[in-house]
Amino acid sequence: MAKIKPSKGAPYARILGVGGYRPTRVVPNEVILEKIDSSDEWIRSRSGIETRHWAGPEETVAAMSLEAAGKAIADAGITAERIGAVVVSTVSHFAQTPAVATEIADKLGTDKAAAFDISAGCAGFGYGLTLAKGMVVEGSAEYVLVIGVERLSDLTDLEDRATAFLFGDGAGAVVVGPSKEPAIGPTVWGSEGDKSGTIKQTVSWDRFFPNARLSAGLDTPADLPVDTEGNIKFPAITQEGQAVFRWAVFEMAKVAQQALDAAGITADELDVFIPHQANVRIIDSMVKTLKLPEHVMVARDIRTTGNTSAASIPLAMERLLATGEAKSGDTALVIGFGAGLVYAATVVTLP
């Protein structure tokens, strides 16, 4: 019986560089209030959001990814040719195939890097980071580019009072490569599919396909959502806000603590906390539950960026490092959670 040769990867992996891209258009709450009955004070108090960025026609998922990726590669001090795999987490790239990662890998100038997309919602960056760590340690790639990118403005129902103010666009990227010491801790991740209905798309794409409608016995568009003028609405993201809030506050604090325990880190030893930027009240509640000391820098990028799903953690990380609020070598707890419901948490050393 033949024996398979063992892989020759690095002993450990680490984040070597980070980059971000925010669209040029800044959208204040006043624009959101044109379509919903609410107030700037209510939006700020309920979510913490003051402004968000919305992408223009040229700021596609691929274009934003390329901007963020280029910065991350430069920050890592390598060239694109050395990238062995490109992992893109997104729910807002509307081509079913091919994966947008293949376009990104080509335009960056990688040497035929492996490239694929994943769909894990707001936990997507954590999922991608875990895959990248495995590839580097296993030896299938020396350097892996992980991108979280969203154009959630395309999936926002501006008449939905529960979600119209939440979402923004942008891309964040990191380069993961070899390390001589542990710098990405064990990932605590999972899913709770019994709660999948709490965050979902309003209507499935096949409801717009004539053949699919006929096979389902639907000969009229009566089952499709319409706006106040009677026009059929494009599919959008909707959620049961209170249910999601309770789950995030009570269950995700437990997951965050498990990630600390798995890494052998206490709250007192943390320098930075970078949670998914979903809601500032969720962030503040997690800080309280975890009993994080005052010296821990907490990312609250949501105030001016909004909820960018898979892009939120790397965007927040990039901003903290750029402003000097966090520094290279800091120990950070990162956690993402959202549609699925899915989650992923780990402790990392900042690049």
- Active site residues per annotation: 122, 276, 307
Instruction: Give the angle subtended at the CA of 292 by the CAs of 286 and 294, to the nearest 5°.
Output: 125
Residue matched to tokens 């009240």? 281
Which parts of 139-215 fold into alpha helices (H)? 210-215
What gap in Å lies between CA 81 and CA 149, rounded to an integer?
Answer: 22
Helix axes 280-290, 241-263, angle to 10 degrees: 40
Within a 13 Å sphere around the CA of 334, how many CA atoms are in the beta-carbon half? 33
Q: Are strands 51-54 and 25-28 parallel, antiparallel or unpaired?
A: antiparallel
**Residue 308 vs residues 126, 150, 202, 231: alpha-carbon distances, Å:** 14, 6, 18, 27
Taking the C-alpha atoms of residue 120 and residue 338, their distance in angstroms, rounded to an integer, is 8
* Residue partners of 215: CB distance under 8 A and separation at least 6: none
Please answer whether residues 208 and 129 qualify as being in contact, where contact means their C-beta atoms are separated by less than 8 angstroms. no
Q: What tokens appear for 322 in the block?
A: 């750029």
Q: For the CA atoms of the chain, what is the radius of gyration?
A: 20
CB contact at 8 A, 132 and 85: yes
Strand residues in the chain grouped as ranges (E): 12-21, 25-28, 51-54, 83-89, 114-118, 143-151, 169-179, 188-191, 199-201, 237-239, 272-275, 297-298, 331-338, 342-349
Q: DSSP for 98-139, please give it.
A: S-HHHHHHHHHT-SS-EEEEE--GGGHHHHHHHHHHHHHHHT
How many residues in total does the chain contain? 351
Residue with tokens 């498990």: 258
